[in-house]
């Protein structure tokens, strides 16, 4: 049982769209990631995802609407819902999702990360 300093962990990387695992509980991974630009349209057939904004802001695009997520806000994307994160400027995000969740869900492309680093 050791505490985790989120800002210390975020300072260890600068790339975008490459989540790092910083904790695990009850079969869930806690991940940190930085977004900038547009991700890819995708969905997760079996996993819900929670996006918590630490710094910055981003828009989560859905096929029928867009939701802006600001610092200290979170958004849960239910399984099966197609979505695409977009960040005009860099944003730092904490993710909660089941262990083994592929970051690009049902899509495989240059953003896909099969093996995540642990910090």
Helix ranges, the chain (H):
6-10
pLDDT at position 89: 98
For the chain, the structural domain boundaries read: 6-118
51-105 pLDDT tens trace: 999 999 999 999 999 999 999 999 999 999 999 999 999 999 999 998 988 787 7
DSSP state of 96: E
User: Which CATH class, in words, describes the domain spanning 6-118?
Assistant: mainly beta
- Across 70-87, b (16+ Cβ under 10 Å) vs e yields eeeeebebeeeebbbbbb
pLDDT at res. 2: 87
Mean pLDDT over 107-119 rounds to 80
The β-bridge partners of 74 are 52
pLDDT band at 113 (very low <50, low <70, confident <90, very high): confident
User: How many whole angstroms separate alpha carbon 5 and alpha carbon 62?
Assistant: 32
Q: How many CB atoms lie within 10 A of CB 12?
A: 11
End-to-end CA gap in the chain: 15
Q: Is 54 exposed, middle or buried (0-12, 13-18, 19+ CB in 10 A)?
A: middle
pLDDT at 57: 98
For residues 95 and 83, the answer to whether their CB atoms sit within 8 Å is: no
- Quick: pLDDT tens for 44-64: 999 999 999 999 999 999 999
């Amino acid at each position: 049982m050791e505490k985790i300093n989120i800002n210390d962990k975020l300072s260890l990387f600068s790339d975008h769209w490459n989540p790092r695992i910083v904790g695990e509980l009850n079969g869930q991974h806690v991940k940190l990631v930085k977004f900038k630009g547009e991700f890819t349209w995708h969905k997760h057939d079996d996993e819900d995802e929670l996006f918590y904004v630490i710094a910055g802001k981003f828009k989560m695009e859905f096929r029928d609407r867009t939701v802006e997520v600001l610092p200290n806000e979170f958004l849960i994307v239910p399984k099966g819902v197609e979505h695409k994160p977009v960040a005009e400027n860099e944003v730092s995000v904490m993710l909660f999702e089941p262990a083994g969740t592929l970051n690009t869900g049902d899509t495989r492309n240059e953003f896909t990360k099969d093996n995540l680093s642990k910090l």
